[in-house]
Amino acid sequence: MVLNMGPQHPSTHGVLRVVLELDGEIVRRADPVIGYLHTGIEKSCESKTYSQAITLTDRIDYLAPLSNNLCYCLAAERLIGLDVPKRAQYIRVLLTELTRITSHLVWLGTHAIDLGAMSVFLYSFREREEIMKIYEYVSGQRMMTSYFRIGGLALEPPPDWLERVRRVMESMPGHVDEYETLLTENRIWMGRTKGIGVLKIEDAIALGASGPMLRGSGLAYDNRKAFPYSSYDEFDFNIPTQTDGDCYARYKVRVAEIRESIKIVKQAMEKIPSEGPFRAEAPGIIPPSREEMKTSIEGLIYHFKIFTEGFAPPPGEVYQVIESPRGELGVFMASDGSPKPYRVHFRAPSFVNLQTLRKLCEGRLIADVVACIGTTDIVLGEVDR
């Protein structure tokens, strides 16, 4: 029997359709059908200036907007050849790690509710809200922050923001313990995830899986270590790995990653100097400060030029890779020397990781398909772009 699961189904996390070929309750083949949320973001980028396109990157992976901002800005900065001040780099690290925590919390809550554990969802969204308040305090927005700009940050963060981060981070490890007491040793949870959706390491590599999908299968690979960006090489953290490659292993990896991210945030709080520039000095590329724009003729000219026509990086192309909460996020950017990107392509980790679904579900029960979709941690906005 052929059964359509989705596109409207509560456990497909959006508009994913999975065509299941069934033999009784056994899944013989599971084919994901995607594209329901395709909005042509890559095409839209080509008709916007480099700075304007940042707002579109938020909307690709809407659970980790700052990771997308970061990857896009790093690509543009490499294209221009721009150095970002250390202070801005550390703030970027801090905020992207907070993003990793919020993204994993959403994953944990929704994955648990899919498998019948309701209370974890309520707890994890409670903590997520506290971090969202930090985003709002710093950037003015809870979700679509667009806070990272080419060359640095959008604005100077408010003076006492680190105090708020510290308060949230102090209680965070206790909350993670709380989730673990509900799940890690829970017999139902283990029954639903252990030995389910096994991805062998050679399959993971062949299918291009990255992030927790790859690390759950036993390969300790992380772009933050292998190709450090934004001063990640100055931070001390571990790469959590598990060898079983099943849903439980990926659960363990992600929970451990939350703890590692807390560690990185704490180190970043120590490193961030209270004074210093929050964006690079690059006339014609970075907008001048409000005061400069009002008082100097050059400032006024640059301000006008940047906001009317943008800036033109030299011709060339780059492929920038970062470790987003979901895996390897890549931005390919090609410039033809005009103020608009000639081509922007997003290597979306969800898109590639979703390809493993067929492998995960083969020969399993329908109920396990729900666990397998949850464990790949897809965001349909990113899959379809």
Partner 1 sequence: MESQEIDKISAVRKLQEWDAKAIGEVVEAKGETTIVIPSDHLFQVARYLASEPSLLFSFLSDICSVDRFTLEPRFEVNYHLLSFQLGVRLRLKVKLPGTDPVISSVFSIWPTADWHERENFDLFGIRFEGHPNLQRILMPDEWEGYPLRKDYPTEGYR
Binding site for partner 1 (CB under 8 A): 34-35, 38, 40, 42-44, 46-47, 78-79, 81, 205-208, 219, 221, 226-227, 316-319, 321, 328, 330, 332, 334, 342-343, 345, 347, 351-352, 355, 384-385
Q: Which is nearer to partner 1, 42 or 130 (CB)?
A: 42
Output the smallest distance, CB 226 to partner 1, in A. 6
Angstrom CA distances, 31 to 17, 351, 357, 369, stand at 8, 14, 8, 11
How far apart are the C-alpha atoms of 280 and 85, rounded to whole Å?
6
Output the smallest distance, CB 119 to partner 1, in A. 36
Nearest to 323 by CA among 349, 356, 353: 349
Output the smallest distance, CB 142 to partner 1, in A. 29
Q: Which is nearer to partner 1, 42 or 180 (CB)?
A: 42
Output the smallest distance, CB 46 to partner 1, in A. 7
Output the smallest distance, CB 79 to partner 1, in A. 7
Output the smallest distance, CB 57 to partner 1, in A. 16
Q: Which is nearer to partner 1, 79 or 108 (CB)?
A: 79
Output the smallest distance, CB 90 to partner 1, in A. 20
Q: Which is nearer to partner 1, 123 or 342 (CB)?
A: 342
Q: Which residue has the tokens 């922007």?
A: 344
How far apart are the C-alpha atoms of 23 and 29, rounded to whole Å?
10
Angle (CA) 382-50-209 rounded to 5° is 25
Q: Which is nearer to partner 1, 169 or 321 (CB)?
A: 321
Angle (CA) 115-119-121 rounded to 5° is 70
Angstrom CA distances, 199 to 26, 34, 49, 365, stand at 18, 22, 41, 16
- Type of residue at 33: V
Output the smallest distance, CB 205 to partner 1, in A. 5
Q: Which is nearer to partner 1, 288 or 341 (CB)?
A: 341
Q: Which is nearer to partner 1, 219 or 269 (CB)?
A: 219
Tell me if 113 sits within 8 A of 121, measured CB to CB: yes
Q: Which is nearer to partner 1, 38 or 133 (CB)?
A: 38
Tell me if 254 sits within 8 A of 104, measured CB to CB: yes
Torsion 91-93-94-98 (CA) sign = positive
Q: Is 51 exposed, middle or buried (0-12, 13-18, 19+ CB in 10 A)?
A: buried
Nearest to 353 by CA among 245, 205, 181, 154: 205
Write out the two tokens for 224: 């933050």
Angstrom CA distances, 360 to 31, 211, 216, 381, stand at 11, 16, 13, 22
Q: Which is nearer to partner 1, 64 or 213 (CB)?
A: 213
Output the smallest distance, CB 8 to partner 1, in A. 17
